[in-house]
Structure 1
Amino acid sequence: MTGAPQRGRAVAGFVLAAAVLGLLVLAGLRSVPAGGHLAATWPAAGAALLWVLTRRSRAAARAAIATSGLVTFGVGALATGDPAFAALMAVADTTQLVVVVLLATGRGVQLPYARTDLRRVVLAIVVGSAVGTLLATGGATALGTSFTPLEIVAWWGRQAVGLSTVGFIGVFLWVEHRQGRTLLGEVLKIHRRPALERLPLVIASVISYAVMLLPEDAYIFLAIPPAIWVASRYSSVFSALHVLGVSGAAIGLTAAGASALAEPSNSPAAVVLGLQIFLLTLISSVLSTAVVNEQRSGLLDEVVQRDHERAERLELFDRTTAAMSEGLAVFEEDGTLVTANEVATLLLATTDLDGCEDGCATRLPLSDALEGRRHSQDVVVRTTGSRPRDLVLAVTAAPLRASESWGGRRRVLVVFRDVTDERAGREALTDFAARAAHDLRSPVAAARSWIGFTQHQLQAGEAVDPQDVSESLDATAAALDRMIALVSGLLEQATAEDGRLRCTPTDLAAPDGPLLRAHELQAPDAELVVGPLPCVEADPELLLQLFGNLLGNAVKYAAAGRAPRVHVSGSLDGDRVLVRITDNGIGVPADLRDTVFDRLTRVHGHLGVTGSGLGLSICRTIVERHGGTIRCEEADPAAGLAGTGGPGTTFVLDLPAAARATSADPRDQPRPPSSHLHDSGGNAQTSFTEAAAE
């Protein structure tokens, strides 16, 4: 049921369009100036184009084309009484219509028409009207009616004007109407404006219409500037409506002989040609201005929209950066702070970031970033205030794309991230894995040594002294207890240690100091000579690990058949204590002394000595955490160990000196050799058993 009413409305609309087209054909035939045979206007060409381009299918468009040809022939034959001439007009107009439609719509003929390509439209009008003009004038000449070149040009102009005004301007208004921009709506917008704003429009319209009545035909072109002004100030829909009004007035006044173009001195062909030139100039100028104005308005709307979106993005960015735990800051190439989020502002205000030892933490990344390289590094800074503490910051710098508003200056984005806990946790985990795998071997080795000592006595059939057995068992138990304590300490460190150094003034050579404690864990035949040793400011547990690894290596890599001997001495070097540890072992080849500290490196792995290759790497880590360095050298002759074993090795390391060690008071000078240990100049040396007994 719903299809029948729709078909009825479609048929009624089709018949109404055909009727309007017939009236426009008749109007064109009646616009012939007095004494001429060429119509001043031909709106039927544009009406037929409008009818075809607004169809929704190709079948409907073909029906409209065929009907327009029949209507033109019928009305023309009735109005002129010349069926041959009417048929010629119908063929020319139909051919012109087909050419314009094909050129305007392009390949595929997409309907209904919705293009706004001005260049394609102009090309279609020029070519289509030229084809129609040549067919009409050529056919008329064949029928006995000749046309002068001026009349041929006037015919072409008439067709082009009809296609432009009624055709494409009508299509444009129809497309805008479908998109919600109706003529009534545009007129009401202007009507709602204040009277003072509407007054210039009224004046421009009056000028456009009034100049057409002036006596000189050249004055009619003064109607164009006001029309251009209207197109530049108002919407394209209203501009199209205004140009239709001006064009209609010019055509009507000229047809009535009341315009400046219809002067008696002008021939009919000149009148028609002058009118077409005026209308083409008016339409092209106004439409070009309207298109530019529309594009400008679109660009302005786009700019406003982009500014709005940019403002929203900036607001979102500000909120995002404010909620971030990382600090973001932008610096000039000279290090001047441009902007920063809250975290970076607080960080820069509460740390000595600009005064760190390696220069400025923001300047080092800047130099690389300004060269186009992304730079990342960890920087240790100290907070200011009453309770300063060290922070580890991961600093990343990246160059920013230059902007004209920066005056040619380059800028760098710097990101600060507090990784203190992360680095401490990672370091604690690494220390636990390395120390647990390596250091538990020392107490186990000591226990095995005491057990082996007792087994040797029993297997040799020697009389066993109960006191020696008791001492061996006690020492074994002590070594095992030390192993248990070390395991417990490592487990506690893995779960609770914060990774920072717990530095205290430490006497290395004290009976309970880290040096002798480390020596107690070695084999019983290992001998130790301790020279002068200033006190240091260090972590005692880490020092125990340091000396345990170095003394353990001296024992493991002792020369075959020789008792391991180690000489340790130290001296002040400014605010550092330079410690030298010399052994009489098999030594380290000169070409491997730099790589011996690399993790998992074993120089003498071929000897079958057990080990993980982590000992010296852990030593280097401990020394570096105290701000020092460690190196491997050939044995120091001053240690007095020449000829007691192998070529030997000297490890040189530096540790922070304790405050009292750097004092000028004689009581604070390097500690002399212990009473139970002779200095390096004596011949007698005390064994581990004697030292333990004492």
Structure 2
Amino acid sequence: MNLGHDSTGTAGPGAHADATPHARAGPGVATALARTAGFSVLYLAATWAGRLTVMDGTNLSMVWPAAGVAALWFLTARHPRWRRLDMLCLSAVTMAVNVATGAPTVMAVMFVLANLAQALIFAHLFRRWLPGLWGGGGDRPLSRLTHLWRLLAVSVISTVCGALIGPTAVWLVDGAYSVPAAAVWLTRNTASMLLIGAAGLRLGYLLSAYPAAGPTASSRRTALRAVWRATSWPRRAEYAAVVTVSAAAYIVAFGIDHGLPLAFPLIVMTVWAGLRLHTTFVVLHDLAFGSLAVSYTLLGLGPFAAIESYPTRALIVQLFVGIVAVVGLAVALGRDERAELLRTLRLARTTAAEQATVLRTIVDSMGEGLAVMDADGRFLMRNPAAATLLGGVTSPTGRMADSSFYGLFHTDGRPIAADEMPFRRALRTGQPQGMDMVVRNAALPAGRVLAVNATPLPEPIAGTAYALSIFHDVTAERRHRDELAAFAGVVAHDLANPLTTVEGWGEDLPELIRTAPERALDAIGRINRAAARMRTLIVDLLDYTTARDATLRTTRTDLTATATGIAAARVDQAKGVDAPVPRFTIGDLHAVHADPALIRQLLENLISNAIKYTAPGITPHITVTTSRHDDVVEVAVGDNGIGIPAGEHRAVFGNFHRAHPTAGYTGTGLGLAICERIVERHGGTITASDNPAGTGTVITFTVPAADTAADSAAAPSRSVAYAT
């Protein structure tokens, strides 16, 4: 049965939102007065009952339940104003009851001081040593073994302080100090504080834990009934069995005069309750049946009644009650702690499993390969990408195989030795290590470049050091880097040649002007031509960058108008320099969905190349036709030029590639590279092939068709010729 708490020290379901409700300024006047009045009445009854058990010749009571009541009374006093009122009421009740039951005035005053000292010291130490519990300033119940031992220590210390005053008062009155009486004082008050204090702390917590269900007593009863209804029938039967069997056992042990010492075997009932039932029930069980044992002893019944010495009889019965209380609470609280540890362990295990699932999902979904290995190559974990990046080659032994098994090489082609692997170097040096390696095996005949970074884990796992290796495919990145390096080298070379011309003739120009003016004009011409070559290269580089990086602004583009405009410009240019006028055959071209500026640049480059690479004495003839295939327009630009050497039809689209470097044709080798970049940015492809109509080349590329394009049948071509 769970009476509002899981017996673990955590707040119950009805705990206040304010974690320290007792830290408020104080209760209302009516509530405070009601609390003081209630405790005064309870203390009066406990004091009167205790004085009825005064031992002959000592004026000391055999039992003193008032000690436990006073401890709870002062423990619940929060505001100094009400604490002073509580002290006044306790003093008045103690004085009145002791005088009324025959205690001398001096002894009654000393008893007042003793009870005040006990209660005040108990409350002070409890708040210092158990601040998290209800009554000590916190909101948790008595729920751990450490709580029990501290409560016992607080009870013993406060009782010792009271014993320094109470038995001393008897000595002042009677003239003799009684050690047995002092021992009785210690045991009876300690047992009272422990039992009544534990019961009050558990019940007080329950009363404070249920206002969330409603502030009234009826709402608390409703909540408790709901808890009881939630208790299983077998557990209810066990509660009833413990009460019934305990009552029968105590009646047999104490109520029947059989002369057998059956008291201490009764602890079995306490152990049964402590092992199986709720801690609050165990406390109430100890209190109820401990009180029953004391009552039988006071009536002269039970195994302790045969002891002739009253102090010894009181000492033994109080020791019995104290042992029952300590054993019951120790068993119950130890069980609660074990249950809480098991719950915490299960929660931690569940949390760890959930986190492991999340981590495994993250790791398995990574595009990068991941592996955790020790120095011998044993895998602690690895993800699917690790095998994928190695071409699907995996070791069946759970240990990383030799480099030759995977086909691992340095970038210069040397095989990677075992001790050169990054994870072994990281474990050996304790520092992160990285390298590029090439994977070449049956699944990856062309090779794949992997960037591998290994980092040693900060702490060993089960005494073994591991390193985390992360590797990802950098083949494209390294290729681009190499291309960029080659690109920069070619640019530097192509700029250096005309720059050398400019510098050389520039240095000679002053001397030529002074000594040979007719040669100065030739030098100036050479400088101008070199500058023109540099400008052409720079313009081509800018065009290449634009084709690669400029933002696409696609729209419906009229290829017919674009091609016709370029053709007219080339005809005019040829006429202006007295060159052969090119002849164009331009069909009724399909409209495309593309960037107009880049499409114009694409056609400009293709037509310019077609005109430039024409044999001497031959009139260039360029054809531009299109055909539509679904959502793609295929554009073909043909010429009657010198063609492309065999085996170079793909290479001509590379950066700075020149198919006829020694044939006297000028150029940077970037024209077709720019064309390929433009086409690829539009999602198309570009190819070069020999012209089936004879000599020359046909460049074919694809771009997206415009939504309003005509049907896919190519329109008849029309010849556009310009005569001089």
RMSD: 4.4
Q: Which residue of 2 aligns with 1:261?
A: 304
Partner of 1:397: 454
1:152 to 169, 172, 182: 182
**Counterpart residue number, 2:291:** 248
Residues 191 and 321 in structure 2, CA contact (< 8 A), matched pair in contact too: yes
Cα deviation, residue 375, structure 1: 2.7
- The counterpart of 1:370, out of the listed 427, 432, 456, is 427
Show the counterpart of 1:19.
41
* Residue 152 (structure 1) shift: 1.9
How far off is 1:149 after superposition?
1.8
Q: Give the aligned partner of residue 43 of structure 1.
A: 65
| In 2: Cα distance, 1:484 partner to 1:118 partner | 94
- 1:297 equivalent to 2:339? Answer yes
Q: 1:455 to 1:94 in 2, by over 3 A?
A: closer
Aligned to 1:574: none
Q: 1:341 aligns with which of 371, 383, 392?
A: 383
In the alignment, the residues of structure 2 paired with residue 10 and residue 364 of structure 1 have an alpha-carbon distance, to the nearest angstrom, of: 77
What residue is the counterpart of 1:626 in the other structure? none
Q: Deviations over 1:285-319 (max 9, x none)?
A: 23333333333233222222222332332233233
Shift of 1:45: 0.9
Q: 1:410 aligns with which of 462, 465, 470?
A: 465
How far apart, in 1, do the equivalents of 2:304 and 2:94 lie? 28
Letter in 2 for 1:365: P
The 2-side partners of 1:270 and 1:189 are apart by 47
SS in 1 for 2:53: coil
* Aligned counterparts of 2:514 and 2:109: Cα–Cα separation in 1: 138
Equivalenced residues, count: 495
| Residues in 2 aligned to 1:131 and 1:454: alpha-carbon distance in whole angstroms | 117
Matched, 1:70 2:92: yes
Name the structure 2 match of 1:355: 407
Distance (whole Å) between structure 2 residues aligned to residue 53 and residue 136 of structure 1 = 22
In structure 1, the partner of 2:562 is none
Q: Superposed, which structure 2 residues align to 1:185-204 within 5 Å?
A: 192-194=233-235, 201=242
Change (3 A) 1:55 1:277: same
What is the aligned partner in structure 2 of residue 8 from structure 1? 30
Counterparts in 2 of 1:212 and 1:301: CA distance versus 1, 3 Å: same
Per-residue Cα deviation, 1:245-282 (whole angstroms, up to 9, x for no partner)? 2222222222222221112x432111101012112222
Which letter maps to 1:212?
A
Cα deviation digits, residues 445-474 of structure 1 (max 9, x gap)? 1355467778866654498699xx5xx899
- CA distance in 1 between counterparts of 2:228 and 2:62 reads 30
Question: What's the offset of the Cα at 1:221?
Answer: 1.6
1:272 aligns with 2:314: yes
Partner of 1:234: 277
Alignment of 1:665-680 (within 5 A): none
C-alpha separation in 2, matches of 1:217 and 1:349: 86
Contiguous gaps of at least 5 residues in structure 2: 1-26, 212-219, 395-402, 410-414, 550-650, 659-724
Length-normalised TM-score, structure 1: 0.61
Distance 2:509 2:30 in 1: 122
Kept in 1, the 8 Å contact 2:159–2:186? The answer is: yes
**Further displaced range: 300-309 or 448-457:** 448-457
Cα pair 1:190 1:198 within 8 Å, conserved: no
Alpha carbons 1:45, 1:159 under 8 Å: kept = yes
Distance (Å, rounded) in 1 between the aligned partners of 2:130 and 2:294: 36
1:589 corresponds to:
none
1:457 and 1:464 in contact (8 A); partners too: yes
Kept after mapping to 1: 8 A contact 2:53/2:63 = yes
Mapped to 1, the partners of 2:136 and 2:545 lie a distance apart of 77
1:214-273 alpha-carbon deviations (Å, 9 max, x no partner): 75575312222431343233343232222222222222222222221112x432111101
Among all aligned residue pairs of Structure 1 and Structure 2, give the percentage whose two residues are the same amino acid.
Answer: 24
Distance in 1 between residues matched to 2:432 and 2:76, nearest whole Å: 63
Matches within 5 A, 1:466-615: 479=530, 483-484=534-535, 486-487=537-538
| 2:95 and 2:112 in contact (8 A); partners too | yes
Does 1:212 pair with 2:253? yes
Q: Is the 8 A contact 2:77 2:83 kept in 1?
A: yes
Report the AA paired with residue 370 of structure 1. L
Contact 1:72 1:86 in 2 (8 A): yes
Contact 1:21 1:48 in 2 (8 A): yes
Q: Residue 88 of structure 1 aligns with which residue?
A: 110
Q: 2:368 aligns with which of 320, 326, 329?
A: 326
Q: Secondary structure at the match of 1:259?
A: coil
* Residues 217 and 261, structure 1, Cα contact 8 Å, conserved in 2: no
**Residues 50 and 170 in structure 1, CA contact (< 8 A), matched pair in contact too:** yes
Could you tell me whether the CA contact under 8 Å between 2:423 and 2:454 is conserved in 1? yes
C-alpha deviations, 1:620-678, integer Å up to 9, x for none?
xxxxxxxxxxxxxxxxxxxxxxxxxxxxxxxxxxxxxxxxxxxxxxxxxxxxxxxxxxx
Cα distance, 1:258–1:433 mapped onto 2, change above 3 Å: farther
- Which letter does structure 2 place at the counterpart of 1:232? L
* Alpha-carbon distance change, 68 to 447 in structure 1, aligned in 2, over 3 angstroms: same
Q: Structure 1 residues 410 and 218 mapped into 2: Cα distance closer, same or farther (>3 Å)?
A: farther
Q: Distance in 2 between matches of 1:164 and 1:465?
A: 120
CA distance in 1, matches of 2:419, 2:537: 42
Q: For residues 593-622 of structure 1, give each alpha carbon's deviation from its aligned partner in whole angstroms, at most 9, with x where no partner exists.
A: xxxxxxxxxxxxxxxxxxxxxxxxxxxxxx
SS of the residue aligned with 1:413?
strand
CA 1:372/1:47 → structure 2, altered by over 3 Å: closer, same or farther?
farther
Q: How far apart in 1 are the matches of 2:282 and 2:130?
A: 31
State the distance in 2 between where 1:491 and 1:360 align: 46
- Tell me the alpha carbon deviations over residues 322-373 of structure 1, each in whole angstroms, 9 at most, x when there is no partner: 4433322222432233422343342234479732124279971121222362
Say which SS state the counterpart of residue 181 (structure 2) adopts.
helix
